[in-house]
Amino acid sequence: MRAFGSILLLLVLGVSPVARQPAPGWLGAPERVADGVDLYRVDATDLVSPGAPQSVRLLRVDPKRARLRPALAGTMPSLGTVQEMAARDGAVAAVNAGFFLPTGDPAGVLRIDGRLVSDTTRARGAVALLDEPGEQVPVFDQVTAVIRLRFRSAGAWRSVRVDGVDSPRRKNRVTLYSPSSGPATPSEGGLEWSLTGTPLRASAARRSGRSAIPVDGFVVSFGGLAAPAALAGLARASSVQVRQSLTVASGERVRDWIRAPQIVGGAGLLVRRGVVVTDWTREKLSPSFDLRRHPRTVIARDASHAIWLVTVDGRQPSRAAGMSFAELHALLARLGAIDALNLDGGGSTTMVANGQVVNLPSDLTGARRVSDALLVIAGR
């Protein structure tokens, strides 16, 4: 994006200490996936109490020898399997990533290669991936991400919140379309302005919809026939800024979140800076989401700087019971995790290594089609 908005600072609440333990021998011998990437398979009944069958797959990634990158299934909105995305992008391994709508539109914050693909007004757990010299560094927190249009018209500055990015346009809502969504906007009618040039400038409003999306700009699409007052002067503005505004709950490492090229959202920040998170009021999780056993996908980091991608299978009583958040906390303590985030789970939980699905997806039809995945790319 071309500019960034203000950063709001809040405090993380509801945390308790977690022991920093090295990963013990319960993991067994690893399978080498690629240089710096190892796969562990743990099938046991004593990972939870009372005991129950568990099928856990863990990828240990050395961030000095491999890197993580989120990827979309295709032109938004769209769906595809984790296996398909990994094969297309040459990944040696992958897991499913953020939550999404049935249409294939990502439902949480998602930034890929510096571009905010999806925003969220709800403070949810997220991970930013920083490309530091010689090493990729993940940063964990609870964040919101909002896009605004800022422009000067009739002598006054105006700021208009964007209600969606590359997603289906809704009535009386503002949607911003980028080239990633395809060659043209998807809806008929409404009002649409093309933003092109340096600095960005807006065209006159079109009323027919399905506007061509410039390769070096955007289209602003409003789901109505009469422009709201806030947008009335857009076409007369001398320049238009597209701004990302991030709210970082802890107020820490704000600049890292601003500059991070990759951000993936989840639901349920589990551990942050060595402290277990137990209060998800801010994240507004569904009732019992943390209490019941479900299939889970997690990204974590340990004190040695290794990044862990973990899948816990579930909904298969004789093979895999799934885990609650409390049980995930216990598993993460065994790993010695100092940061961890719960990603999309349930039927979406999928892990791929060397082109093969290595976990036990819970859907009867096999690995679910999802909107995005977190890829492991060999080499730095």
Backbone angles phi, psi at 275, to 5 degrees: -120, 130
Per the domain annotation, does 81 fall within a domain? yes
Q: What range defines the domain where residue 210 resides?
A: 155-232
Measured between alpha carbons, how far is 155 from 209 in angstroms, rounded to an integer?
Answer: 29
Q: Average pLDDT for residues 283-305, to the nearest whole number?
A: 97
Q: Does 264 share its domain with 121?
A: yes
Q: Does 35 share its domain with 134?
A: yes
Per the domain annotation, does 52 fall within a domain? yes
Measured between alpha carbons, how far is 214 from 85 in angstroms, rounded to an integer?
Answer: 26
Q: What is the mean pLDDT of the chain?
A: 92
Domain boundary among 215, 232, 249: 232
Share of the chain above pLDDT 90, in %: 83
pTM of the model: 0.89
The residue among 127, 119, 61, 118 whose CA lies nearest residue 94 is: 61
Per the domain annotation, does 253 fall within a domain? no
Per the domain annotation, does 149 fall within a domain? no
Q: Does 161 share its domain with 124?
A: no
Per the domain annotation, does 65 fall within a domain? yes
Q: Does 265 share its domain with 303?
A: yes
Measured between alpha carbons, how far is 286 from 9 in angstroms, rounded to an integer?
Answer: 25
How far is residue 24 from each of residues 28, 269, 309, 355, 372, measured CA to CA in Å? Answer: 9, 24, 17, 28, 32
- 3-state DSSP assignment of residue 159: strand
pLDDT digits (tens, 9 = 90+) for 340-354: 999 999 999 999 999
Q: Does 24 share its domain with 90?
A: yes
Q: Does 120 share its domain with 25?
A: yes
Number of independent structural domains in the chain: 2
Measured between alpha carbons, how far is 281 from 272 in angstroms, rounded to an integer?
Answer: 16
Domain boundary among 213, 232, 251: 232
| E strand intervals along 18-134 | 31-34, 37-44, 54-61, 66-72, 93-96, 110-112, 115-118, 120-132
Identify whether 317 is preceded by a cis peptide bond (ω within 30 of 0).
no
pLDDT surpassing 50 at residue 131: yes
Residue 236 binned pLDDT confidence (cut-offs 50, 70, 90): confident
Measured between alpha carbons, how far is 138 from 6 in angstroms, rounded to an integer?
Answer: 22
User: In sequence order, what are the residues at sequence separation of 6 or more whose Cβ sits closer than 8 angstroms to the Cβ of residue 43?
Assistant: 53, 54, 55, 56
Per the domain annotation, does 7 fall within a domain? yes
The residue among 250, 233, 291, 316 whose CA lies nearest residue 54 is: 316
pLDDT surpassing 80 at residue 358: yes
- 3-state DSSP assignment of residue 355: coil
The residue among 177, 176, 67 whose CA lies nearest residue 113 is: 67
pLDDT surpassing 50 at residue 4: no
User: In sequence order, what are the residues at sequence separation of 6 or more whose Cβ sits closer than 8 angstroms to the Cβ of residue 311?
Assistant: 56, 57, 95, 295, 296, 297, 298, 349, 350, 351, 359
Q: Does 271 share its domain with 164?
A: no
Long-range Cβ pairs for the range 156-160 (8 Å, 24+): 158/230, 158/233, 159/230, 160/230, 160/231, 160/234
Measured between alpha carbons, how far is 22 from 338 in angstroms, rounded to an integer?
Answer: 11
Measured between alpha carbons, how far is 246 from 103 in angstroms, rounded to an integer?
Answer: 26
pLDDT digits (tens, 9 = 90+) for 296-352: 999 999 999 999 999 999 999 999 999 999 999 999 999 999 999 999 999 999 999
The residue among 20, 33, 84, 66 whose CA lies nearest residue 370 is: 84
Q: Does 128 share its domain with 173?
A: no
| Listed range (47-61, 80-94, 231-245) with the worst mean pLDDT | 231-245
**pLDDT value at position 76?**
86
User: In sequence order, what are the residues at sequence separation of 6 or more whose Cβ sits closer than 8 angstroms to the Cβ of residue 102?
Assistant: none
Measured between alpha carbons, how far is 66 from 35 in angstroms, rounded to an integer?
Answer: 8
Per the domain annotation, does 148 fall within a domain? no
Per the domain annotation, does 255 fall within a domain? no
Q: Does 271 share its domain with 227?
A: no
**pLDDT value at position 365?**
96
Q: Does 24 share its domain with 128?
A: yes
Q: Does 119 share its domain with 218?
A: no
Q: Does 101 share its domain with 180?
A: no
